[in-house]
Amino acid sequence: MSEPSPFVFETTEATFEADVLDRSREVPVIVDFWAEWCAPCRTLKPVLESLAREYGGKFVLAKANTETAPGLAAEFGVRSIPAVFAVKQAQVVDSFVGALPESKIRTWIDRLLPTPAEMAADEARGLEATDPVAAEAGYRSALGLAPDLPQAKIGLARIALGKGRTDEAGALIADLERRGFLEPEAEKLKAELLLRNQAGGSGGVDAARAALERNPGDLERKLTLAEALAAAGRYEEALECCLELVEQDPKHVGERARKTMVNIFQLLPPDSDLVGDYRRRLAAALF
Assess whether 242 carries a catalytic annotation: no
Summarize pLDDT for 104-150 with one digit per residue, the tens: 999 999 999 988 999 999 999 999 999 999 999 999 999 999 999 99
Q: How many domains does the structure of the chain reveal?
A: 3
Are 93 and 158 found together in one domain? no
Write down the catalytic residue from 20, 29, 30, 38.
Answer: 38
Task: Provide the residue range defining the domain that includes 173.
Answer: 116-180
d(CA 1, CA 49): 11
The whole-number pLDDT of residue 237 equals 95
pLDDT given for residue 90 in this prediction = 87
Task: Decide if 239 is inside a domain.
Answer: yes
Q: Are residues 35 and 83 in the same domain?
A: yes
- The CA dihedral of 31, 33, 39, 44, to the nearest 10 degrees, is -10
Residues 41, 121, 226, 282: which is the catalytic one? 41
The string of pLDDT tens digits covering residues 66-92 is 999 999 999 999 999 999 999 998 889
Instruction: Please state, in angstroms and as integers, the Cα–Cα distance from residue 122 to each residue in 14, 119, 125, 175, 180, following that order.
Output: 29, 5, 5, 20, 24
Active-site residue 38, yes or no?
A: yes
State the CATH number of the domain containing residue 130: 1.25.40
Residue-averaged pLDDT of the chain = 92
Residues 16 and 94 in one domain: yes
